[in-house]
Amino acid sequence: MPLRIIITAGDAMNIGEAAQLSGVSAKMIRYYETIGLISKATRSYSGYRDYQERDIHILRFIRRARAAGFSTLQIKKLLALWQDRQRPAREVKQFASEHLSELKEKIAELEAIATALSQLIAHCHGDDRPDCPILDTLAGESTGGKFDECGKRHPPIRRHSAPKPKI
């Protein structure tokens, strides 16, 4: 992966440098532009996107907000709150609190699953014999078992990670 380190004196920079400085991939910067999360970048004569320090700040904000688990839609609102210097902190606190509640709910769901699974695993002798309470429970005839109760939401397993903040 050859990676030329870009150093520029002034403010203006291409998308690659913006990506390096902000920790948001160029791909994602373009994506954020298409979904309207950031405003359309001005273009150089040849069509290259042009970024300033100010854009880098915004992109970093977005990266951190993503790392905090906010969706792009939520970030749109956060950006609006951020840019409005008159907004009362109350609004921000409330918004963040709602997100925190969702997070906690998700955690509780996962923990319910983990607990149930732990118990099954604990009850499995795990030797060469074929009888196994784990499979028996999943196959179970009875209703109202552990896994008829918990784990109602299951986001797809993702291959791609969110951008790993290296800056």
Instruction: Give SS3 for 68.
Output: coil
Minimum distance from residue 9 beta carbon to a copy of itself (Å): 19
Instruction: Give SS3 for 50.
Output: strand
Asked whether the beta carbons of 14 and 50 are under 8 A apart, the reply is yes
The CA–CA distances, whole Å, from 39 to 8, 34, 69 equal: 23, 9, 22
Strand-pair partners of 13 = 51
- Residues 32-51 vs DNA: string with x where CB under 7 A? ---x-----x--xxxxxx--
Looking only at residues 63 through 92 of this chain, which bind DNA when binding is defined by CB under 7 A?
66, 71-73
- Angle CA 149–154–132, to nearest 5: 55
Q: Does 9 bind DNA (CB under 7 A)?
A: no
By a kind-dependent CB cut-off of 5 to 8 A, residue 4 interacts, out of a copy of itself, DNA, none, with DNA
Q: Does 130 bind DNA (CB under 7 A)?
A: no
DSSP E strand stretches across the chain: 42-43, 49-50
Minimum distance from residue 20 beta carbon to DNA (Å): 9
In the complex with a copy of itself, which residue's Cβ is closer, 5 or 89?
89
Q: Among 143, 156, 166, 167, which residue interacts with DNA (rule: CB under 7 A)?
A: 156
Element (H, E) at 33: helix 26-34
Binding site for DNA (CB under 7 A): 2-4, 6, 14-17, 25-28, 30-31, 35, 41, 44-49, 66, 71-73, 154-163
